[in-house]
Structure 1
Amino acid sequence: MDDLTQAYGEKFLMYALVSEYPAIDYSDKPAEAIQVLREIAQQIEGVTDPFGKYINLQHAIGSIDDSGLSLANRLRLVCGGDLPEATDGDPVAALALAVARETYPLYLLLYPDSISGGRIGAPTIAYTHPASIPFCRAALQDPSLANLFPGVDTEKEVDPHAISSSIILSNGSGSGIQLIGLLPSMLDAAWRWCVLDSRPTAATYLEKVRAILGQIRLLAEGKKINVPHVIGIRGVDVPETITMKLPFGIIKSSVGWGVIGTPEIENQASALLVMHFPLEVLWIGREESNDEEQSKKWDELKGKFAVPRDENSRKLAMVQLSLLLASSEDRPKTATVAFDIILNPGILSGMSYGFNPTPMFRPAAAMLDETAARRVESWAKVVAERHPSSLDITMRRLITAFTVDRDPTDALIDGVICWENMLGSPQEAVLRVTSSMAKLIESRDPEKRKVIHAELKDIYKARSALVHGNSKQQPKRDKLHQYKNASLQYAIETLLRLYERPALLVEKDSGMRSQSILLDTYETTIRPLDAS
């Protein structure tokens, strides 16, 4: 790696020097451009702190001339490149785009892995660009954006640094918001959204800035919008060439993704699940709102945070179940959560996320090819269309059993709980559950049904001995593993047989379901799964 690539990174050099390939041939580039880059790299070489070196580099490359162009974009023009139009009939958008165009190349600079804590927010140019203060003042004159700062006299000349408010969003995030920070937060959010969609260009970044501004206006008007909810998952490795489109969202490769900007977090995921999160502003307080008032308002609203979170948690579980059903028995495709991010559109810091740094069980990622990806899509369609909420306990227990590394005793108990959720009854539970399961799994051959019924009863007996602490009847370790595997496979098989029989899925409860099976009183029309 040459000295310029070490200092600036390939992405920045390809942009500034107008090169299509990472391996840049400097011999055909203007000498003055190369000289400027070398001089800046040499000037910061003596800075030992990696973060300080990065900030100094960012300041130098982002220096603005009288025309409002950054050094990075001036170098691009010298090298024969062009710049996207940063104009708009909307005065707020026009000012935002003017700053965004100069911000874009700074996001391409190499961010050293040695900097702990992840990438900082928008480059400082977002605060210091000549259009930044005019943007703030234009925002206060905007009938929608002004709602974010209640109580401000928009007829007077104001200092954007002195204007603030407090805000609470429906994803549970909230904090103070400064007028001077609105544009930087918006530009940073646009970058993160852009990276999530594709490998951004200057043009696509500016389009995303326009879109983000529109989203913020809708939020400021009290409307609900959909924002990206990104789940980093372990256990399933998706090539860059494959994107799975599911009813709940999409699963795509995590390669090259940098929305968090923290490699130690992002590298935990082998794929990304991207869903929508319905976001709205629940409360905006004046800048003089005190901590007591904010705390009281938070307590009033916190019940509203759970509803959209719970809905997406169920969608995540349905994705995990779809992956499990699409996998082979000898190697189930498990998916555990590495991180959970909701990308705000820039009103606050740009995102709120959780991270699970020490998973109890981190399975080796199963590489999905095109055929396997289409199987996952097919199973996801089945789950979306046929899985009733009454069987959510079965779904969650199956996922837990296959994704958490626990004692086989717990997984065996999970398996039998699935049985009871599907076909259990307060009366004669063992007989009702095992008999209806055997009949559902093997409806044609009575002898095979007897064998299955006997094994189901043995498993149930072992589970009861474990739950009730009967040490004399508890199975030995090797038998315990056998029962655990069988209990889970029987649970999956029973669930699939129920998916094929719509009349059983709509029964009032599990007891009525098992009764209908045993008495043959349900409509026996079979809907094939068509997910192989």
Structure 2
Amino acid sequence: MSSSQPPSEQALAAGTKLSSLVWLMEVAGREFVTYILNCGENLDSILSGITTLTPEQAANTEILDRTLRGLPEDIDQTVRVRAALSWLSECQANGQLTAQMLYLNAGGQQISVPAADDLEESIADLADAVYSALLLPDEFAEMFDHYNLRVGIYASRAIFDHPSASGFREAVMNDSTLGQLFAIEGERTGRVTKRIYLSTGTAHSIQLLRLPEIILTRAWHSIPLAEQGPMQFVEAALKELRNIRSILSRKRGITRGKIAFAGILLPEGSGLTLKGASVRSTTDDDRKLAPPSLKGQASATDFSGVTTTVSYDGDIVLEMQIPLTIRVVDGSSGNLRWPDDMHLPDEVEATINRLRFGLIMAVEREARALLVPTWRHFDDPLDTTMSLSWSDPREGAGFMPTQLTGDEVTSWASWYERLSKPYVAKIDLALSRILKASGERRDPSDVLIDSVIAWERLFGTKEGEPTFRISTSIAILLGETFEERMEIKTRLSTIYGLRSKVVHGSGHLKPSEYAFCYEALDVAIRAVRILFLDRADILQLPDGATRSSALLLGARPSPDEEPP
């Protein structure tokens, strides 16, 4: 047998039983054939004839070949594949799947791990039994929502039909914590929980019949492809079970969130490490979560002739560990109103705003760099669905593809830290209005209104004449000389007049006045930059009235004063 031929041609030309293995590898995958032969990394050398089959492997190959030859010759390829895979994932009388029996016959070992009780023992047994079925392809994947975790039809059938699944469901009902939750008996659904609200924005009931599949599906998707194995799968299943039990008993836990942004490319290998979160480039796995409507790209060429291409389905992902709260509610009365206190922690939106605003501060280019939200999803530790929401970056304003430099990423991280100081919360409204004016408002009048609101949040007061006080404070902050400050104050007063015209409905902006709207935004951004870099003493004061008074009265920071 010539080793220079492709393995499949060699096997078929030799007329050996190996041709059945080659066919199975093509329809079921390399990992599955490796499993039933228990051959580790030797599959290629076996198929090429370099390594001889052990007696046990040869017996498995004979069984496989005999079964395939027993299928009717007049059936088409699709039916042949489904028949073969159904047989291999079928549970036999001894509680083992056909594929598991072949694996054990080839020297594989059943997994035995310490189990705390019947629940853990039954889920561990079930995971070990159905592991091979999860290796089989999911031929109906396109029929289901792309943002759901799922397993193939063969695995789903194997999990549902296996005796250990029945034992698991029985153990659930005997459990002092879980048994009380599955208190509702549905005519068609069987035992289900009351309605469970999650602070990530989803609500559902858990069907007891589906619980084993929920746990095993989540366990399967939690293991990196390169690390999948029977032992790893059993351990992951136990981890998922313990997490579900903990969350349902304590009514709280931790989940993972991903928030994607478009418009910005990171230098290769770079990112930001934050407290409890990280910022990194989007991966192919991340993009699978994005709705198909967000597929597409945008390109822009800067003044130096460099073209940058970004994706509407996200170029950067913020990944966070998020505190989770759940509430179990009796929905039988029909009152399904969302609980007022069940929402994401404020820190989630605060982190997003600090990142977005920090980028505006960090990148000082003629075209402003904007981090544009595109989609976000939160893992549901009690189900296989994920809470997904999205907005289309094409509907925003100021979308400019930008490739960051390493120095800009470093500056971004520094600005994020500045914006994380506790006293910054006092000007959160000003920062959020600047973000809206920069990336969300298409109408110049809206940019104007948001920008002036930011001014007022920084230096506004109910005392005296606000236009004079605010414009003078900003002029003092931005100007160096008396002449510069007078010129700035005059322009700010003009902008204030335009804003009053828009807000009070006394007229519409003329195209010649649009530039003032964007100047108002530039002024707001410059003011914030100077406050953070040079006048942290002003920034730390409690409100706009105090901040403007300090500027008007000429307060200066102590030479030794440092921001907290």
Instruction: Decide which of 170, 186, 189 is 2:198's aligned counterpart.
Output: 170
Which residue in 1 is equivalent to 2:391?
356
Distance change >3 Å, CA 78–CA 192, structure 1 → 2: same
Which residue in 2 is equivalent to 1:133?
166
Superposed, 1:21-420 pairs within 5 Å as: 27=48, 45-46=77-78, 59=86, 62-64=89-91, 85=111, 87-91=113-117, 92-101=119-128, 102-103=130-131, 106=134, 109=137, 114-115=142-143, 117-118=145-146, 121-122=150-151, 123-124=155-156, 125-150=158-183, 162-171=190-199, 172-194=201-223, 201-202=228-229, 205-238=233-266, 241-247=269-275, 249-257=277-285, 264=292, 268-285=313-330, 290=332, 293=333, 295-296=334-335, 298-299=336-337, 302-306=339-343, 308=344, 310-346=346-382, 348-356=383-391, 359-361=394-396, 363=399, 365-368=401-404, 370-386=406-422, 388-404=424-440, 406-420=442-456
Normalising by structure 1, what TM-score? 0.76
Which residue in 2 is equivalent to 1:156?
none
Distance 1:436 1:524 in 2: 20
What is the CA-CA distance between 1:209 and the residue it aligns to? Answer: 3.0
Q: CA offsets, 1:343-366, max 9 Å, x none?
A: 1212x4443232335751383654
Alignment of 1:508 onto 2:542: yes
**Contact 1:462/1:475 (<8 A) preserved:** no
Instruction: Decide which of 514, 517, 529 is 2:551's aligned counterpart.
Output: 517
Query: What secondary structure does 1:305 align onto?
Result: coil
Q: CA RMSD in A?
A: 4.6
Distance 1:72 1:358 in 2: 48
Distance 1:368 1:79 in 2: 54
Query: What secondary structure does 1:388 align onto?
Result: helix
Distance change >3 Å, CA 76–CA 453, structure 1 → 2: farther
Distance change >3 Å, CA 491–CA 222, structure 1 → 2: same
Query: What secondary structure does 2:474 align onto?
Result: helix
* Residue range with higher mean Cα deviation, 178-187 or 353-362: 353-362
What is the CA-CA distance between 1:227 and the residue it aligns to? Answer: 0.9
Q: CA offsets, 1:193-213, max 9 Å, x none?
A: 556xx9763465544433322
Distance 2:181 2:114 in 1: 23
Query: What secondary structure does 1:499 align onto?
Result: helix
Q: CA offsets, 1:31-89, max 9 Å, x none?
A: 97799699699977447xxxxx9x98975664445676656667878999x78946232
What is the CA-CA distance between 1:232 and the residue it aligns to? Answer: 2.7
Q: CA offsets, 1:442-481, max 9 Å, x none?
A: 4x44444344334433433333344345558x4534x52x
Normalising by structure 2, what TM-score? 0.72
Distance 1:188 1:78 in 2: 27
Distance 1:108 1:243 in 2: 36
For structure 1, the 5+ residue unaligned runs are 48-52, 153-158
Read off the aligned partner of 1:231 and give its amino acid letter. I
Distance change >3 Å, CA 163–CA 508, structure 1 → 2: same
Query: What secondary structure does 2:261 align onto?
Result: strand
Distance 2:109 2:216 in 1: 18
Distance 1:131 1:225 in 2: 28
Read off the aligned partner of 2:489 and give its amino acid letter. H
Distance change >3 Å, CA 464–CA 305, structure 1 → 2: same
Distance change >3 Å, CA 408–CA 142, structure 1 → 2: same
Query: What secondary structure does 1:413 align onto?
Result: helix
Distance 1:79 1:384 in 2: 58
* Residue range with higher mean Cα deviation, 24-33 or 449-458: 24-33
Q: CA offsets, 1:150-205, max 9 Å, x none?
A: 489xxxxxx9973222132232432332222112122233345556xx97634655
Query: What secondary structure does 2:342 align onto?
Result: helix
Distance change >3 Å, CA 407–CA 266, structure 1 → 2: closer
What is the CA-CA distance between 1:508 and the residue it aligns to? Answer: 3.4
**Contact 2:196/2:327 (<8 A) preserved:** yes
For structure 2, the 5+ residue unaligned runs are 1-7, 9-22, 296-312
**Contact 1:382/1:529 (<8 A) preserved:** no
**Contact 1:62/1:106 (<8 A) preserved:** no
Query: What secondary structure does 2:137 align onto?
Result: coil
**Contact 1:231/1:340 (<8 A) preserved:** yes
Query: What secondary structure does 1:514 align onto?
Result: helix
Which residue in 1 is equivalent to 2:511?
476
**Contact 1:439/1:517 (<8 A) preserved:** yes
Distance 1:254 1:14 in 2: 32
Distance 1:225 1:241 in 2: 31
Query: What secondary structure does 2:361 align onto?
Result: helix
**Contact 1:166/1:176 (<8 A) preserved:** yes
Distance change >3 Å, CA 75–CA 225, structure 1 → 2: same
Superposed, 1:446-485 pairs within 5 Å as: 446-469=482-505, 471=507, 474-477=509-512, 480=514, 482-485=515-518
Which residue in 2 is equivalent to 1:50?
none
Q: CA offsets, 1:354-383, max 9 Å, x none?
A: 233575138365445654443333222221
Distance 2:177 2:315 in 1: 40
Q: Which has the larger radius of gyration?
A: 2
* Residue range with higher mean Cα deviation, 363-372 or 413-422: 363-372
Read off the aligned partner of 1:516 and give its amino acid letter. A
